[in-house]
Amino acid sequence: MNRREVAPQPEPRIPIGDQRLSTLAFALVAIDLNSDIGEGIGDDPVALDDALLSVVSSANIAAGGHAGDADTMARVCEQAAARKVAIGAHVSYLDREGFGRSPQVVDDDTLRAQILDQITALDEAAQAVESAVTYIKAHGALYHQACIPGSREAEIIIDSALQFKAEHGRSLAILGFAGSDLIARAREAGLKGANEAFADRAYTTEGWLVARSETDSVITDPSQALVRLKRLLRDDEIISIEGTPIEVKAQSICIHGDTPGAVVMARRLKAAIDADRVRIAPFAPPPRPQPKVHTS
């Protein structure tokens, strides 16, 4: 790009109805955008994955529990690595039939082994393209169970991360529901814990997600999502489905890949953040490529 002096231009703004997204750069240095990838969703799942990977900074990649297989993991990891997108293991109960959205009766040792197997399988795919898994995010029922204070699922996820560290010498961050017991316990165990908020899900007044079975639990209108983003980033607040403001402090914002219009929503959120000069960056960055050693 040619470098030349130009007259100062007014700061760009994204209209949101009769409002505009306030300047956030004074309050935020960076924010992460994440999405669930490699779940085989829609008529053209490959195109959906590629489109989302062009927007997000972190990819929660299905690792075989609720969706995903070796070929999908290899393809998505290759695309993520090329775009310098962080790779996260989207671990789940082994429940492909139910897409991981129903709690499963499984003993602690078995669940721990299943989670560790998923992390390891995805990390092998990432290592093959000179990247690596840098964080864990639970999926579906496992995600919700791990948020319950004192839950065994939270302990098992944390134990799996610690075991991975012991075996591979790398620490994995934990991405979870903002303010949840999982994040607090992960930090107590010496792991990085990142708080997550949802652009496309409604919240209850108590601060939980509205069940998907309830009306208006999923937000599909990008303009509504932008209004929520503005308040979240400016005020650390989300308005609940009942109209009550609730405190939500987040380092990462999720757009579900299976939300109708997910790509349009993700692009509009990214444009709004970019316009306010807040940097979009992964909370658990991928490893830097190692320089190639040439031998004579």
State the total domains in the chain. 1
- Residue 132 within a domain: yes
- Residue 164 within a domain: yes
pLDDT the model gives residue 294: 54
- Residue 44 within a domain: yes
Confidence check: pLDDT of 6 > 70: no
Task: Give 191-232 pLDDT, tens digit per residue.
Answer: 999 999 999 999 999 999 998 889 899 999 999 999 988 889
- Quick one: what percent of the chain has pLDDT higher than 90? 74
- Residue 292 within a domain: no
Q: How far apart are CA 122 and CA 80, in angstroms?
A: 12
Q: How far apart are CA 82 and CA 223, in angstroms?
A: 31
- Residue 290 within a domain: no
Task: Give 110-125 pLDDT, tens digit per residue.
Answer: 999 999 999 999 999 9
- Residue 295 within a domain: no
Q: How far apart are CA 102 and CA 31, in angstroms?
A: 31
Confidence check: pLDDT of 160 > 60: yes
pLDDT the model gives residue 291: 64
- Identify the CATH number of the domain in which residue 82 sits: 3.20.20.370
- Residue 157 within a domain: yes
- Residue 235 within a domain: yes
Angle at 211 between CA 208 and CA 214, to 5 degrees: 130
List Cα–Cα distances, 163 to 124, 128, 151, in angstroms.
Answer: 16, 21, 19
Domain residue limits at 187? 15-280
